[in-house]
Amino acid sequence: MTPLHFGVVLPSYGPQAERLALVDTAQVAEDLGFDAVWLTDHVALPKEDAERFGRIFEAITTLAYLAGVTRKIGLGISALVLPQRNPVIVAKQMATADRLSGGRTRLAVGIGWSEGEYRNLGQSFRDRAKRMDEAIQVLRTMWRGPKVVSYEGTYYTIRRAVMDPGPLQPGGPPLWVAGNSPASLRRAALLADGWHPNARGPETLRSMLSAAKPLLGTRPFDVVLRIRLAWDQAEPPYPGALHGSTEQVVQQMARYLAAGATGFVITFEAASQRQRERAMQRFMDEARPALDDLLRTQGAGLGPLGFQV
């Protein structure tokens, strides 16, 4: 059985984004037994695109900082907008963070949506999908290859670049492709270790994974949803979000697992740090054990990837 992943989205953006909130959330998540904490990425959004993510901590430097204030929890980015960065620099940064953290890093990459942010960073928005495919190959080549690396592509060329030290994890950090489109799922199936969409409902997930099953075959493949959780709300704050009582949240997660999900990276809806920590505690005290019991006694069915619980 594929191990389930339970991660926490850190308050690295928005009005609650502060150093202590990041440190406290990461350390509480570690103490509670979550698998990883996850940072969000944007760098230079134009004002018209910056309502949610204008105030944001840079993801890679924050990840490296958190490595020094945690001991064992995974450290991820959900999701790095890869085509607006130099993938050689990203490969080196993540390899360094992986070494310094003791092999705890994870990376989800996406193509982004703000043309203005690409413009601000001096990158082309039009060909970002094609450059994304090559950029992923650059990451893999630099993480998996020998200490002296070469790569020849249409958009990126590397000639005898020294990559030392490489990542501590063999082959580099687990690499997922983020996005909600069939193209992102296809890219994940062909180039990465997993797919990291936003949750949009179990039936949507089931349909998309069923269509992609010929590409995936039987190899291990993560399908970890980025999802919001609003305790005790009668209606979801966003389509596909977890909401309601503990029993309702557990049933909602079980339906996602039956559709093919292998985990959740959760934004806990909270108006304060104290509320966030209470929401996280409730999840691990009530929802996680109840989900484990449900899966043990009833199972969640067989998902389209052959994922069975």
198-243 pLDDT, tens digit per residue, is 999 999 999 999 999 999 988 899 999 999 999 999 999 899 999 9
- In this structure, what CATH number is given to the domain that contains residue 236? 3.20.20.30
Report, as an integer, the average pLDDT of 16-22. 98
Q: Would 71 be classed as within a structural domain?
A: yes
How many separate domains does the chain show?
A: 1
Q: Would 304 be classed as within a structural domain?
A: no
Report, as an integer, the average pLDDT of 58-68. 98
Q: What is the average pLDDT score of the chain? A: 95
| pLDDT at res. 263 | 97
Sign of CA pseudo-dihedral 227, 230, 232, 235: negative
- Segment 111-164, tens digit of pLDDT: 999 999 999 999 999 999 999 999 999 999 999 988 999 999 999 999 999 999
Name, in order, each residue with C-beta under 8 angstroms of 53's C-beta and a sequence gap of 6 or more.
13, 14, 40, 42, 45
- In this prediction the pTM is 0.95
Q: Would 306 be classed as within a structural domain?
A: no
Report, as an integer, the average pLDDT of 23-38. 98
Q: Among candidates 306, 300, 296, which has minimal Cα distance to 218?
A: 306
Report, as an integer, the average pLDDT of 1-27. 94
Q: Would 238 be classed as within a structural domain?
A: yes
Task: Reply yes or no on whether the pLDDT at 308 is more than 90.
Answer: no
| pLDDT at res. 1 | 55
Task: Reply yes or no on whether the pLDDT at 305 is more than 70.
Answer: no
Cβ–Cβ under 8 Å, residues 307 and 262: yes
Task: Reply yes or no on whether the pLDDT at 90 is more than 60.
Answer: yes
Q: Would 224 be classed as within a structural domain?
A: yes
299: confidence class by pLDDT, cuts 50, 70, 90:
low
Q: Would 308 be classed as within a structural domain?
A: no
Helix (H) or strand (E) holding 64, with range, is: helix 59-67
In the chain, beta strands by DSSP E:
5-9, 36-39, 74-81, 105-110, 148-152, 157-162, 175-178, 194-196, 222-231, 242-244, 263-268
| pLDDT at res. 304 | 44
Q: Which of 6-10, 124-128, 231-235, 304-308 has the lowest mean pLDDT?
A: 304-308
Residue ranges making up the domain that contains 167: 5-297
| pLDDT at res. 146 | 86
